[in-house]
Amino acid sequence: MYIFGGMGGNNLRSFHECALRFADRQPDEEGLLYQWDIVKGEPPQKRDSHTCVHVSTPTADTHPSKIGDSLILFGGSSNDKSFQDLHRFDLRTQRWMQLNPCGELPSPREGHTAKMIGKDKMMVHGGVDQSETSFADTYVLTGINSYIDKDQIMSEEAA
């Protein structure tokens, strides 16, 4: 499980601080197999009310033992601003990358829903903007796997 953003503190400010991930280690004396780790690197701007979906790369299909592989983050808000940006977090390298898809972008929004459709499309529906205007629109982002680093896939398949 990865955690990005949210609201906290007395003034309900947005933050980006940590992730929980399962470690490759033996259970401790209480039988626990998890630990908190801070993800390093440059994350997207702090935010809350965003969506994040899991994307399996072609490598995960050909090597089922490898958990795949990216998280795609869209939208959200921070203080008085809503976002319409798109980011990918590579679970293997633990790095963020901003994505710049072509086509008509959804309006900046928060509180929307996002879901993977198959292995290469992400649907975004609804949400609100900073003035609390509700959206009833739906967008589909196609070609998500084209953002996967081809060199990474080839080097992993050779291993």
Q: For residue 3, which amino acid is it?
A: I
Cα distances from 27 to residues 20, 21, 30, 36, 65, in angstroms, run 16, 14, 7, 14, 20
Asked whether residue 25 carries a pLDDT value surpassing 90, the answer given is: no
> What does the pLDDT read at residue 54?
87
* pLDDT (tens digit per residue) in 52-99: 998 876 554 555 444 457 889 999 999 889 999 999 888 878 888 899
Neighbours of 84 (CB within 10 A): 14
The answer to whether the predicted template modeling score (pTM) of the entire model surpasses 0.75 is: no
In terms of average pLDDT, the best of 23-27, 38-42, 44-48 is 44-48
> What does the pLDDT read at residue 140?
95
